Structures are given as C-alpha cells and as structure tokens.
C-alpha cells in the first residue's frame, strides 16, 4: 500500500520535479519522499484450441456439408471498417467476411498465391476508408505484397 501511495504522489508532481530516467544514480529524494519510475504494460493473449483438443472435449458432431459459393459482380471498393475476417479457400483469392455475414472474394491473380496469406495480412488505411481493386494491396505478415485485381460478391449456391 505504501508503494502505491508513493507512486500516486509521484504522478501528481510536476514533470520538472521528477528525476531524469536516464540517470543511473539512486532515485531522487523530494522532501524526504523517494520517487521511482513505474512502467505498466498490458498483454492480451488469445488462445485458440487445436481442433484435436476440441474433439476430445465435446461429443463428435456430424460435419456440416461444404458450402459452394457462386461469384457475382461486385463494387470496385469495400468499406474497410466493415471487414470482420478472412478465409483462404482458393489459391488465387482471399475471401473477406464482412460485418453482417456478407462475403466478398478479393481476386489476387496468378502471380500472387493466396497461400502466402494463411498467417494473416495487413491492409494500409486510406483517406477514404475504402479498400479498392486495382488500387490497394494486401501485405502478408511474411512481407509479400499483392495488388487486389477485383472483388466478387459470394452467394451460397442453392
């Protein structure tokens, strides 16, 4: 409790009264109060269970039939803030899951295999808040970069 009060008191002091963090000498003393530097760090860890671990915990369920998607015409751009997730289902494209469940396929072309994006990718924010075909690129976490050739809306085949 005393250490917490010292830290709280140090936080209330003007910056000029605090010791220089670059100094290697003992902490400064102000009117008999010792002052120390505190660094608070926060880490968030998201654990994803392995598929075999899930099977051991839960009862086996019948597998869902695969969904066949039909490609339809789409807009040239999608709103960046509507992106909710991504999946790699083909070697030449990345399927984008939008907020609300809509799916859009970003076609990358043959010279840029989608397998490079299995570990995730980055999209550079733009001033207009849109990701556009023939303008923007996906950058893989491994360092590769691919231009988006076109977008196609995906609709489940009936």
3-state helix, strand, coil in the chain (%, to 5): 20, 30, 50
Contact 36, 23 (CB under 8 A): no
C-alpha–C-alpha distance, residues 4 and 12, integer Å: 13
For the chain, first and last CA: distance in Å? 65
pLDDT at residue 148 in the model: 92
Residue-wise pLDDT for 102-148, tens only, equals: 999 999 877 787 666 667 788 888 899 999 999 998 887 777 788 99
Max mean pLDDT among 6-10, 17-21, 63-67, 144-148 falls in: 144-148
Q: Report helix, strand or coil for 102.
A: coil
Residue-wise pLDDT for 147-158, tens only, equals: 999 999 999 987
pLDDT at residue 133 in the model: 95
């Amino acid at each position: 409790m005393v250490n917490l009060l010292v830290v709280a008191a140090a936080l209330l002091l003007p910056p000029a009264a605090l010791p220089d963090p670059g100094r290697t000498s003992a902490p400064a003393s102000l009117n008999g109060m010792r002052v120390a530097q505190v660094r608070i760090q926060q880490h968030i860890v998201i654990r994803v269970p392995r598929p075999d671990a899930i099977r051991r915990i839960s009862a086996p369920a019948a597998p869902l039939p695969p969904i066949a998607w039909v490609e339809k015409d789409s807009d040239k751009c999608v709103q960046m803030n509507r992106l909710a997730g991504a999946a790699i289902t083909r070697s030449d494209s990345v399927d984008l899951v939008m907020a609300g469940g809509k799916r859009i396929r970003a076609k990358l072309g043959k010279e840029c295999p989608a397998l490079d994006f299995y570990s995730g990718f980055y999209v550079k924010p733009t001033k207009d808040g849109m990701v556009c075909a023939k303008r923007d690129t996906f950058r893989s976490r491994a360092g590769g970069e691919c231009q988006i050739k076109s977008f196609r809306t995906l609709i489940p085949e009936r």
